[in-house]
Structure formats: structure tokens, C-alpha cells
Chains A and B, each alone.
Chain A
């Protein structure tokens, strides 16, 4: 009898704590979504489940600002960055693990070093350099500079991935008479897919979320990506909170969708970074 009370109590405490943790994590997002949907004159009422609802904030942000352009830019830049990262990083990480060339560990370390570098420190010199060669304020320059953080992370993740990858699989391919390139193509690529997916996910999210490089590199309205675009809508139009929250929700939507379906790969990527090392 006493034991079962103890079990119930323990369960209740656990429940309360879990509810608290969930509220802590999710409530701000709930408030973001709700604020974007509330009618403007009700926006300042501090009620938790507020109505009436209205699409007005969404209509305003879509019709009166360059938000659709920013959206298109973000999609282009994030996809460009992701593709470039995967194409560059996968063979590089493979070579870093498998080749016996000198200086491989040094390169891995250099990559990690580059990854630890804060965006703002890289952004200022990169910007000054791009200005010097006349290449600032372009989408391509943004893609290339986003690679300065997606690439080191990608190499790091794929390096860890290939390192734990049993050599025997490749060997059996060699024995079947494949060249290394064929072995890579036929055997390694398919098994590498989960690792690549993790890199894809991280590259996309990091590029999509970037504010600093966009702030420093991009000036023209027609080239801005979403996070900086939203900040400049705020500056230029004195946007209302409803519009800002509608814009924020729209920015988060693809990320939350990706996350909902692929959270496994996120978690894998995150825990790989620290635990393995």
C-alpha cells in the first residue's frame, strides 16, 4: 500500500516536471503562432487563448513587404549551400579517413578550428575581401560564405561517420573486383546515406537561420534572406508585433517540418559532435 502511494507520488512529480519542461520549451513558440494569427486590435490583450483570429498580419507581410522575395532567396541560398557542402564534404571526409597522405589529422583539426570560429569574426574579413574583389552583395557570395561554417561541421560529421565505418565492407568490394571509385559508388555511397542526410539537414538549417553573414554581406532588398529580411522589415516599416510573429512563424515552418520528420538525424548529428569526441 505505502509502496503504491510512493509510486503514484513519484509519477505525479515526474508529470509535473515534464509538463514544466515542455511548457518551458514550447510555450514561446505557441505564443509566436498565436500572435501572428490574432486580429490586430486584440494583439495587446494578454489572454492565453485569444480570439478573434485573422489572417491580416499574414496578408500585410505578404502584400506590403518583400517577404516573398526573401523567402525565394532563402530557399535558393539554403539549397545551394546544402548541395555545395555535401558535394565538397563527402569525398573530402572519405579521403581524410582512408588516404594515408601526410597531414590528414592536421586538416581535420583545422576544420574543427574553423568551425569553432564565430561567424562575426569571419564575416568582417570575408566582407572586406569580397568588397576588394567586387563580389559582395550577391547570392553566390552568401552561399560560399555559408560554406565557411557548414563545411567544417560537415567534414567533422562525415569524418566521424567514415571513421566508424568498417573497412571490411570496402574490402569485400575490392575482392569482388571493384576499383576504389567503383567500390565507393556501389558499396559505400548507399551506406553513407544516413550520414549525408545528417549533413544535409545541418547545412540547410544553419544556412536558413544565418543572420550575421546576411547582415554584413547583403545590402540590396532583393537579395536578402529571411532572418535579415525580417529584421529589416521591422526597421523599415515599423512592423507591428502581429506581422513580426507571422513572419517568424513562416521562417520557422520549414525548419519545424524538417525537424518533425527527421529529428532522428538531428539528434544523431548533435550527439556525434560531442560524445564521440
Chain B
């Protein structure tokens, strides 16, 4: 039996394996299905069913987890969409994503270009510049709230000594926005750096040398050689990062809790607040579902622009 299978395998030329019939194909198919099964079970059990359940709950009214839900149809949606606070939070999310992504890209490219230079200890510095990315968000937040602390923080002490005076980094809506954007950029820029470094490495040195011989300056080389290589990566990164940043919950929540007032409140915070603090599980899941739909739209757009099969 075993020998037979072996001889069959040997006998089959590579193209024949693509055909759809045959006992081997069946056996292989079973093997592949076994390979796929655990992942599918996990995905269905841990992602799809809960998401469907949440969507279902968004059509109900429930004040707590022990409450018996009552069906309200689209009531929760009509209510949240009529609330100006929802739209304020929506635009906060967009603003946060746009600001953090553009800064990450600018700083990321700058540092990537710097680390692309030849110098001793380059690989060590590359690792060092990556480090903020692997810190847990909670730690990042604690480090920065400590550094930025009003009365005892190092940064304010430094500013004070320079004669600028201490700054209230969480005092006003503007300062809070600066803080959440800055800390987010610090935390996530390394992702951009690494990606760009990888892209830069695909450019052959000869190209630069040839261009240098032609008497071009550094800026021209950047625009005509480097940028065309970075551009496709750039587009992908902007897309991906925007989707990520639009929904970053932990860093904003831990830094400002959405305040002062609701100045830094975005949709994930609103969903969390409604579900866990405002006795409004239907409203919370409705907000979550609305983000879900918006994101699906964005991701669909992403796949339209960058089909997977292309490479």
C-alpha cells in the first residue's frame, strides 16, 4: 500500500498534479483540509461568531449584561447618528489618523535615509531606532506621561531652565492633541523606518554612482532615483497605517481618556464608554458596528487598489 503510493507520486509528472481528479488528489485534498481546519475553526469561533453576535445586539436595547434585551430595530443607529458627539468623534478619528500617519511617514523617511548611509555601528543603530516599536503601549504611555508631567516631569524642568516655562501637556485641547499625536508618532514610526530601509536596500548603488558621475546633486538623486522606488511602498504604508491609526484605542484612552472635555474622543472610545460606562450596550455595539462598516469600506478600497495576485 505504502509502496504503491510512493510509486504513484513518482510516476506523476508535475503538471498532472494540477488536474482535478485521481485518488491522490483526494488524499491530498483531505490533508490540506486538515491543515486548514484548526485555523478556520479558530477564526469562526473567535472572530466571526462574536462579530455577528455584536451586530445582532446593535439592534437591541440593553442596559446591562443581565438585562433582557428588547428589539429596537434601527433605533440605536438613528440615535447615535443624530448625536453630534458621534460625528465629532468620527472627525477626531480622521484627524488623528491623518496627522499621525503623515508625521510617521516624514520622520520615518528621514531616519531611514539617515540609517541607509554607510557608517560604523550601522546595524546597531538600526536596531536602536526600532526599539520604541516593540515596547508595550502601556509602557510607552507611562514613560511619556512621566516625562511630560506638569510639575515633576523632566521635559518641563528642561523647558523651565531654558526660560520657556513649563507647558501643560494635557491642559488644553490643543496641547492634548499635540501630546497624543507626538507619543503615537514616537511609538509607531519605527515600522515606517524599517519598511523604507528594506525598500531602499533594493536600489542598486550603481544607479547612484552613475547619477553622481552625471553631475546630479543629492536632491535630484533623491527625487529621480529614491522616490520612484519608495512611492509604491509609500502608498501601501499610508493606506495600512491610516486604517490602523483610525482605530487606535489604547494610546489615546490611556493618555487622555478622550479629554479635556471630549476634545480627543474618537469612535473607539465612544464605543467603549457607551458599552461599559453608560449602561448602553445597544448604542455601544451600534457605534462599533458603524466603525466596522466604515473600515470594511476602506479595506475593500485598499484591495481594489492593491490586488493581492499582482505580485
Does A271 count as interface, using CB distance less than 8 angstroms?
yes
Most buried by A among B50, B190, B306: B50
B53 x A128 contact (CB < 8 A): yes
Bound Cα distance A120, B198 (Å): 31
Q: Is B225 an interface residue (CB 8 A)?
A: no
- Which residues in A have their C-beta under 8 angstroms from that of B308? 105, 108-109, 112, 277
B295 is contacted by which of A89, A117, A209, A251 (Cβ under 8 Å)? A117
Assess the B154–A92 pair: CB atoms within 8 A: no
Q: State which of A124, A179, A267 has its C-beta within 8 Å of the C-beta of B54.
A: A124
* Across-interface contacts of B71 in A (CB, < 8 A): none
Is B38's CB under 8 angstroms from A87's CB? yes
> In the complex, are the beta carbons of B128 and A22 less than 8 A apart?
yes
The distance from the CB of A132 to the nearest CB of chain B, in whole angstroms, is: 7
Q: A89-B39, A209-B137 in contact; A14/B195 too (CB < 8 A)?
A: no
Number of CB contacts from chain A to chain B under 8 A? 283
User: Given A147-B42, A148-B47, A179-B6, does the pair A29, B138 have CB atoms closer than 8 Å?
Assistant: no
The reply on A161 being an interface residue by CB < 8 A is no
Q: Map CB proximity to A onto B28-40 as digits: 1 under 8 Å, 0 otherwise.
A: 1101111110111
Q: Mark A87-131, 1 if CB is under 8 A from B, else 0.
A: 111011011101111000101111111101111111011101111
Q: How many chain B residues touch A (Cβ–Cβ < 8 Å)?
A: 102
- Which B residues are CB-close (under 8 A) to A266? 130, 134, 194
CA distance A125 to B285 in the complex (A): 8
In whole angstroms, how far apart are the Cα atoms of A35 and B147 in the complex?
10
User: Would A95 and B275 be within 8 Å (CB), given that A177-B10, A259-B134, A266-B134 are in contact?
Assistant: no
A211 at the interface (CB under 8 A from B): yes
Instruction: Let me know if A21 and B111 touch, CB within 8 A.
Output: yes
Cβ B291 vs Cβ A121 within 8 A: yes
Is B219's CB within 8 Å of the partner chain A?
no
Q: How far is the CB of B14 from chain A (nearest CB, A)?
A: 6
Q: Contact check: which of A25, A113, A171 meets B131 at CB < 8 Å?
A: A25
Closest chain-A Cβ to B45's Cβ sits at a distance in Å of 8
Give complex CA distance A96, B36 in Å.
8
Given that A31-B147, A31-B154, A148-B47 are known contacts, is A118 also in contact with B114, CB under 8 Å in the complex?
no
Question: Is residue B51 within 8 Å, beta carbon to beta carbon, of the partner chain?
Answer: yes
A89 CA to B18 CA, complexed, in Å: 24
In the complex, per-residue mask of A243-277: 1 if CB is within 8 Å of any chain B CB, else 0: 01100100110011001100100110011011111
User: How far apart are the CA atoms of A111 and B299 in the complex, in Å?
Assistant: 12
* Given A87-B38, A92-B35, A94-B35, A28 and B143 contact (CB-CB distance below 8 Å): yes
Q: Which of B74-82, B168-176, B237-245, B257-265 contacts A (4 or more CB under 8 A)?
A: B237-245
Task: Please give me the residue from chain B that is nearest to A17 by CB atom.
Answer: B114
Q: Does A174 contact B (CB under 8 A)?
A: yes
- A187 at the B interface (CB under 8 A): no
Q: Does A157 contact B (CB under 8 A)?
A: no
* Contact in complex: B237, A274 (CB < 8 Å): yes
In the bound complex, what is the Cα–Cα distance between A84 and B45 (angstroms)? 15
B272 contact set on A, CB distance < 8 A? 120, 124
Contacts of B147 in A (CB 8 A): 28, 31
Judged by a CB distance under 8 angstroms, whether B271 is at the interface is yes
- Kindly state the separation between the CA atoms of A257 and B242 in the bound complex, as whole angstroms: 30
B165 CB → nearest A CB, Å: 14
B9 touches A177 (CB 8 A): yes
CB-based contact A271/B249 at 8 Å: no
> A residues within 8 A CB of B288?
120-121, 124-125
Docked complex Cα distance between A177 and B12 (Å): 11
Q: How many residues on the A side are at the interface (Cβ–Cβ under 8 A)? A: 100
Residues of A within 8 A of B9 (CB): 174, 177-179
Nearest Cβ in chain A — how far from B173, in angstroms?
A: 22
| Contact of A190 with B by CB under 8 A | no
A196 at the interface (CB under 8 A from B): no
B291 (CB) vs chain A CBs: closest residue: A121
A26 interface residue, CB < 8 Å from B? yes
Chain A, residue nearest B302 (CB): A116
CB distance from B66 to the nearest CB of A (A): 10
Q: Which residues of the other chain, A, contact B133 by a CB distance below 8 angstroms?
A: 270
Task: State A177–B254 Cα separation when bound (angstroms).
Answer: 58
Decide: A230 and B47 in contact? CB cutoff 8 A: no
Contact of B129 among A22, A87, A171, A252 (CB under 8 A): A22
Q: Is A7 close to B, CB under 8 A?
A: no
Query: Is A80 engaged at the interface, CB distance under 8 Å to the other chain?
Result: no
- 9 A–B contacts from the bound complex (CB under 8 Å): A18-B119, A88-B39, A88-B42, A205-B134, A209-B136, A234-B142, A251-B136, A256-B134, A271-B194
Q: Using a CB–CB distance below 8 Å, which chain A residues touch chain B?
A: 14, 17-18, 21-22, 24-26, 28-29, 31-32, 35, 43-44, 46, 84, 87-89, 91-92, 94-96, 98-101, 105, 107-114, 116-122, 124-126, 128-132, 144-145, 147-148, 151, 155, 171, 174-175, 177-181, 205, 208-212, 216, 226-228, 230-231, 234, 241, 244-245, 248, 251-252, 255-256, 259-260, 263, 266-267, 270-271, 273-277
Beyond A96-B36, A113-B296, A124-B284, 8 extra complex contacts between A and B, CB < 8 Å: A21-B125, A92-B40, A95-B35, A120-B250, A132-B53, A144-B42, A241-B149, A245-B142
Q: List the 4 shortest-distance A-B pairs measured between CB atoms, nearest first.
A: A125-B54, A46-B157, A118-B247, A271-B198
